[in-house]
């Protein structure tokens, strides 16, 4: 190995192999999800479960060191981090040679190498109106010439011209990609580590145009063998994957990282030959299968069972351990505070709750102030969370631990606020609008036992306020559709980091993301102005001041009711090696091994 390859291997945590060494096909990892995926086209999905599988099929240009904490960007299918021009407008990436897509009939038996054109195509797809990508905001408005292609396709109803050369996203030659931004894009390198931006083979997308989510073809270590939507996904090893060995270099004081390095270093990447992912929409069956050794890994300990499995310090939820009865039989736990927020979203377009008028703000604020979030966190979350007080969560650049976003829980004040703004109690015992009309709050809730438990706590709050509410219970996928189409009143939502920077969270309230990640359908000129200023800045004190101002705007508008940031508790059987919760990756399958019995 020459000095250049050695340096690259140190970054990646892997080394090139001189001998062919496929993983053992008899090593089968049986994993679980607690909600269904929506498909495996990275441009068309945004849920964590779809991307959790997609991480193992597709490879973005950049990725993260598996054991580094905090999360650290490293090259993936490129030779190094990009060359950036002095003015910060142009990024040059050099793709590694000899990286191949998994076999597929579309390639007609020819081994298909990854090229810069595939990287350019994957990025341009996000801007194509026909794709309707929920992640189009990652590209639109940023790259020279790309918006014009999208506008031309949208106005004429014609096709996106992928063949037209634009300076913003350009394959300079077979292995060189140029990206040129119109204005500073501080988060660009993080964006290029997201599964959404992965290179794709154009002939695959066009060949399976009628159902791209069912035909993912990438350069990652695994390929899709079978998919029963919402039930089961099976991945098998990609025989065209390059051969490397694990070489993790964790910090000396990182006990978890040191364990992973001890268990995995020197082994071929990947080790698992087959991955079977089963979806459980109810918690008890998932736990029973894990307990009876029919599952090797739990994506997370089921919420109702947390107190029976873990011992959590009631005064400090960061202190927790697996109960002795499970530790004695060798079950293992990897636990971390997720870089996420959960919140209850008021639909900004709802005729009752939406808008920035004082009566509407007062109604939202009263509802938020009447919800006993601390009791819900204790009883439903089982203390396995901390309260959200800032749009950007702990562990993500831009978080302010001293900010208090929400008005305190105070039902008498909430009732007085409604009285003050004209929501009077009518003859039927329920409040009317300020102009005297009856109304009902539409509350969209996830089907299942947990969703109904949340409903009980909310019902109590609405009863105290004398507000009529109607709960609608829908499946997870239908919940996502309703949020993106702004067809609900109130609903619970969650967002976990795609990358460890505050922009990935502050964009949740940008009006240009309505229909995509702004599921609150919130539109505030004040917020938009601040957010667009923040996009020009790198992380630092100047941007932090803007983030504080943006959080203040959302607080004043009472666009959310408070939620939590949860701990992820991944459990593994004794024979699973190398598994560790990562701040960004949703799954660790490609980094793990099974110690065969």
State residue 13's pLDDT score: 57
H or E element that contains 385: strand 385-387
Place of tokens 């609405």: 462
Distances (CA, A) of 202 to 50, 169, 181, 199, 207: 21, 15, 23, 9, 8
Q: According to CATH, where is 3.10.105.10 located in the chain?
A: 340-566
State residue 11's pLDDT score: 43
What is the three-class DSSP state of 455?
helix
CATH topology of domain 3-20+40-220+241-262: Dipeptide-binding Protein; domain 1 (3.90.76)
Do 194 and 497 meet the contact criterion of CB atoms below 8 Å apart? no
Q: How far apart are CA 463 and CA 457, in angstroms?
A: 10
The CA-based angle 26-29-31, given to 5 degrees, is 155
Q: Which residues of the chain have pLDDT under 70?
A: 1-20, 156, 596-597
State residue 7's pLDDT score: 39
The burial class, CB within 10 Å (0-12 / 13-18 / 19+), for 549 is middle
Homologous superfamily of 340-566: Dipeptide-binding Protein; Domain 3 (3.10.105.10)
Neighbouring residues of 30: CB distance < 8 A, sequence distance ≥ 6? 276, 278, 294, 295, 296, 297
What is the three-class DSSP state of 224?
strand
Q: Phi and psi of 78, rounded to 5°?
A: -115, 160
Where b means 16+ CB within 10 Å and e means fewer, 563-590 reads bbbbbbbbbbbeebbbbbbbbbbbbbbb
State residue 477's pLDDT score: 84
Q: How far apart are CA 248 and CA 66, in angstroms?
A: 8
What is the three-class DSSP state of 480?
helix
Order of strands across the sheet that contains 222-228: 24-33, 272-279, 232-237, 222-228
pTM: 0.85
Q: According to CATH, where is 3.90.76.10 located in the chain?
A: 3-20+40-220+241-262
Q: How far apart are CA 569 and CA 302, in angstroms?
A: 9
Q: How far apart are CA 52 and CA 415, in angstroms?
A: 44
Q: How far apart are CA 139 and CA 182, in angstroms?
A: 11
State residue 2's pLDDT score: 40
What is the three-class DSSP state of 502?
coil
Neighbouring CB atoms inside 10 A of 417's CB total 21
Neighbouring residues of 40: CB distance < 8 A, sequence distance ≥ 6? 50, 53, 54, 57, 213, 214, 215, 216, 224, 227
Do 484 and 472 meet the contact criterion of CB atoms below 8 Å apart? no
State residue 8's pLDDT score: 43
């Amino acid at each position: 190995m020459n000095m250049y390859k050695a340096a690259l291997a140190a970054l990646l945590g892997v080394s090139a192999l001189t001998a062919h060494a496929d993983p053992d096909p008899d090593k089968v990892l049986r994993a679980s999800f607690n909600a269904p995926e929506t498909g495996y086209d990275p441009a068309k999905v945004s849920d964590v479960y779809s991307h959790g599988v997609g991480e193992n099929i597709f490879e973005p240009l950049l990725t993260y060191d598996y054991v580094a904490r905090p999360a650290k960007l490293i090259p993936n299918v490129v030779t190094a981090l990009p060359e950036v021009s002095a003015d910060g407008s142009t990024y040059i990436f050099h793709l590694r040679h000899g990286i191949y897509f998994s076999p597929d009939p579309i390639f007609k038996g020819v081994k298909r190498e990854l090229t810069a054109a595939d990287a350019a195509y994957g990025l341009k797809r996000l801007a194509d109106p026909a794709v309707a990508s929920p992640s189009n905001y990652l590209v639109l408005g940023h790259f020279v010439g790309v918006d014009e292609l999208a506008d031309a396709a949208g106005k004429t109803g014609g096709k996106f011209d992928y063949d037209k050369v634009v300076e913003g996203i350009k394959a300079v030659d077979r292995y060189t990609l140029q990206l040129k931004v119109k204005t500073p894009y501080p988060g660009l390198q993080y964006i290029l580590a997201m599964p959404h931006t992965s290179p794709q083979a154009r002939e695959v997308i066009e060949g399976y145009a009628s159902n791209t989510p069912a035909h993912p073809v990438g350069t990652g270590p695994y390929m899709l063998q079978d998919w029963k939507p919402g039930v089961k996904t099976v991945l098998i090893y990609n025989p065209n994957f390059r051969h490397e060995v694990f070489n993790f270099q964790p910090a000396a004081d990182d006990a978890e990282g040191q364990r992973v390095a001890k268990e995995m270093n020197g082994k071929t990447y990947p080790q698992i030959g087959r991955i079977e992912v089963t979806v459980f929409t109810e918690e008890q069956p998932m736990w029973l299968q894990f307990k009876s050794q029919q599952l090797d890994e739990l994506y997370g300990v089921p919420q109702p069972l947390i107190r029976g499995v873990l011992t959590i310090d009631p005064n400090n939820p960061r202190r927790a351990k697996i109960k002795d009865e499970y530790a004695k039989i060798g079950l293992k736990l990897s636990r971390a505070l997720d870089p996420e927020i959960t919140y209850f979203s008021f639909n900004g377009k709802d005729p009752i709750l939406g808008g920035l008028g004082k009566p509407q703000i007062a109604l939202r604020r009263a509802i938020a102030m009447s919800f006993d979030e601390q009791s819900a966190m204790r009883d439903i979350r089982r203390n396995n969370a901390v309260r959200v007080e800032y749009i950007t969560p702990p562990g993500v650049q831009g978080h302010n631990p001293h900010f208090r976003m929400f008005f305190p829980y105070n039902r008498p004040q909430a009732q007085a606020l409604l009285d003050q703004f004209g929501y009077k109690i009518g003859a039927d015992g329920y409040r009317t609008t300020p102009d005297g009309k009856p109304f009902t709050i539409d509350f969209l809730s996830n089907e299942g036992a947990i969703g109904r438990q949340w409903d009980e706590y909310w019902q109590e709050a609405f009863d105290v306020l004398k507000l009529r509410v109607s709960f609608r219970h829908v499946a997870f996928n239908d919940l996502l559709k309703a949020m993106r189409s702004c067809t609900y009143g109130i609903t619970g939502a969650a967002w976990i980091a795609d990358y460890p920077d505050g922009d990935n969270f502050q964009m949740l309230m940008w009006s240009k993301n309505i229909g995509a990640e702004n599921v609150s359908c919130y539109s505030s000129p004040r917020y938009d102005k601040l957010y667009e200023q923040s996009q020009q800045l790198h992380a630092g004190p100047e941007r932090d001041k803007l983030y504080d101002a943006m959080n203040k705007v959302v607080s004043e508008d009472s666009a959310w009711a408070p939620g939590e940031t949860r701990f992820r508790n991944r459990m593994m059987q004794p024979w699973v090696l190398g598994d560790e919760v990562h701040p960004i990756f949703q799954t660790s399958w490609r980094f793990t091994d099974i110690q065969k019995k």
